[in-house]
Structure 1
């Protein structure tokens, strides 16, 4: 639990250093264990081979030659040799004079009187016992264990130093990014983070680019929301002042004349209606601006256009509307019905307000090609001044020619955003002879589905 708590609260550099040390020490211990096992096997095989050589030499000679060969083993570190016949020692090496031959019950390793590898062979009636001392081998193994222990400790120390240095170098770009973000928080200004890695193509560079993109998106969204809030507050100020002014007028009268009262109530109702309409437009624009997924279905276009034309004629019966459809059985588009209806009405309403004149027609022409259905709404008004063209789709923007008309300045902004949400496109052309707005929808008759 303590180790888990430490690793949980320790810094990333400390955790990486500990893991590096653990990996190095584990590798060294593994290699040390493999080395010890390999050396032990080699020493054992060598001892067995040497014992067999002694046995083979003693067993091949007889008499004085054998006795002379046995007398050569007079030291404790020399092999201990017994030759036994019918449970009686018939020959032995001088270094076994004070020892009794005992066979190991646990394998070839004999611990008493001295550690040795025991080799036993039976040839005819003679039994040969050779104990090969392994004290030098044990000393070698002890020295090897000591050396490997020192190597492990040195590796751990080197691992600590290298781990701290390497993790410091590796995490330096992260530290630079952290410092940059902290400066943004303190200054209150957000900007893309500079590439923290000198290599420029590693994972930290990728993280920097993604993080910078996130900051850019969030900054743009924050600026858009701030601007929207400021614009909405400015636009709502007028109807609120109308309401307050009429309330002041009504409060100053002890006995209010019905005509004045009715006029004030109508003005306040109109102001409330304007605010309601503006808030609804802002919510629609905000939802469309998020580019959230919208359900698109095959939608017949002709009934929608007929409804829009009928509503427009009811609103402005003095302006003729001409609807021109191609000679096809049915025009199908990939669209959202509510979004499409609101887009068509926003464009037609814009033409009625700013390009329509009594008796001068507004034309709605539908063209169909292989992949798209294009709806063009053209008026014969004075056109849009060149200085207004770059700002037409800005929220609340109203050109000089529209100052005297009612509206919020959100119509074209909403139409463009709704078309983008439906994978469509809104284009505008204007000249002194009139303005044409073109809405491009995906042709459902030719395409198997909306664009992905």
Structure 2
């Protein structure tokens, strides 16, 4: 039995429309329940308020525990309902009509609830529209899935896909030249583009790492040759070689640790251990440590006017800030000031700041400063691997934050880590 193509085309839309109606009705019912509970509470509060004000008016004060109260009708008719108050010895202190105010409060709350229901009914199209916009991506996915389900591939189309993939240019794209396969063609080309980008990044990373490791290895080899030739007899050459080899090994160890950190991060093996931390306290701790470690620069701390609490990995976030502080100390002249700060931006986002008066950077250097192994020309005379800022960016990215950098050559640099 054959199916009607038109029915197949509208089936997902009909299902999604039904779901949209259901969601809109559920939202409206939830609002109606909230209105009902709120109005009942208002009804009780209005009656209680009238009772309180009436006792103040007639008796002169209100004593909740020291009096007995009752609602009474001599004929049993609700229209003659009275509110009575007695002292603890049985003396009647007040007897006033209650039905009139009860009736008025009831009518007022009923009218309010009716107006709320009318407003709710009038807002149904708006609620339905919001639900439809929210479900639009799901509707599109359902329609695409239904379209793929109804698409009958012939053997020729399968062979066309197979031949195009087998004969594809590694540096190019795939073209099936078939309208029915346009969606698959775009998806495959997008995948190829991502694979090519990943391969280029990996190749660049390996080449840069090899280049950075080549220099210390060459230095170690050179001093090893010196030791072999003259180190046994020349004590000066021996001491110089041992010191140089030790320094290069330390540099290589630092480089390898940074490479491993980035490799673990890229592979998803570094998991953030988030907790609630006080940002002021973290920055004050980094400031005090910098003040003790670095005796060549005066440090200043600018605290926020409030306590700022965020959810973050304390260890990794501290590592990111320490990288910025170490760079500031490295590129700032002796006795020049370095400022650490914490606060909130104009749009109320928390930030941590490191500001120096060092050599600064050009705009081009700022645009590339977080790339792996990138080092500005002015910075090449200073010792470093070019990976520190890449690690800091990885950490900040995983916290959903970003950097704001202002730098001028010969004036200094201000870097802010802005968090969400």
Partner residue of 2:164? 180
TM-score computed with the length of structure 2 as normaliser: 0.58
- Please point out which of 380, 392, 398 is paired with 2:357: 380
User: Aligned pair count?
Assistant: 269
Maintained 8 Å contact 1:322/1:362? yes
What is the CA–CA distance in structure 1 between the aligned matches of 2:231 and 2:368, rounded to whole Å? 49
What is the CA–CA distance in structure 2 between the aligned matches of 1:179 and 1:408, rounded to whole Å? 46
Does the alignment pair 1:193 with 2:174? yes
**Displacement after TM superposition at 1:429 (Å):** 1.5
**Displacement after TM superposition at 1:173 (Å):** 4.3
Partner residue of 2:136? none
Classify 1:209/1:434 alpha carbon distance in 2 versus 1 (closer, same or farther; 3 Å). Answer: same
Maintained 8 Å contact 2:275/2:312? yes
Classify 1:218/1:297 alpha carbon distance in 2 versus 1 (closer, same or farther; 3 Å). Answer: farther
Partner residue of 2:321? 344
Does the alignment pair 1:366 with 2:342? yes
My pick for the range that moved more, 241-250 or 335-344, is 335-344
**Displacement after TM superposition at 1:387 (Å):** 3.7
Classify 1:195/1:384 alpha carbon distance in 2 versus 1 (closer, same or farther; 3 Å). Answer: farther
**Displacement after TM superposition at 1:283 (Å):** 1.9
C-alpha deviations, 1:410-446, integer Å up to 9, x for none?
121211121111211122121243211110123xxxx
Instruction: Give the CA RMSD over aligned residues.
Output: 2.6
- Please point out which of 252, 255, 279 is paired with 2:256: 279
Question: Secondary structure of 1:252's partner?
Answer: helix
Query: Mapping of 1:136-155 within 5 angstroms?
Result: none
Partner residue of 1:316? 294
What is the CA–CA distance in structure 1 between the aligned matches of 2:259 and 2:232, rounded to whole Å? 40
Q: Which has the higher helix share?
A: 2
**Displacement after TM superposition at 1:302 (Å):** 3.0
What is the CA–CA distance in structure 2 between the aligned matches of 1:174 and 1:350, rounded to whole Å? 57
Query: Mapping of 1:21-100 within 5 angstroms?
Result: none
Partner residue of 2:57? none
Maintained 8 Å contact 1:297/1:336? yes
TM-score computed with the length of structure 1 as normaliser: 0.54
Classify 1:323/1:242 alpha carbon distance in 2 versus 1 (closer, same or farther; 3 Å). Answer: same
C-alpha deviations, 1:182-240, integer Å up to 9, x for none?
124xx5x24443365414xxxx4433333333222222222111111111111101100
**Runs of at least 5 residues in structure 1 that lack an aligned partner in the other structure:** 1-22, 25-165, 443-452
Q: Of the two, which has the highest radius of gyration?
A: 1
Classify 1:436/1:253 alpha carbon distance in 2 versus 1 (closer, same or farther; 3 Å). Answer: same
Classify 1:224/1:371 alpha carbon distance in 2 versus 1 (closer, same or farther; 3 Å). Answer: same
Maintained 8 Å contact 1:288/1:418? no
What is the CA–CA distance in structure 2 between the aligned matches of 1:360 and 1:295, rounded to whole Å? 36
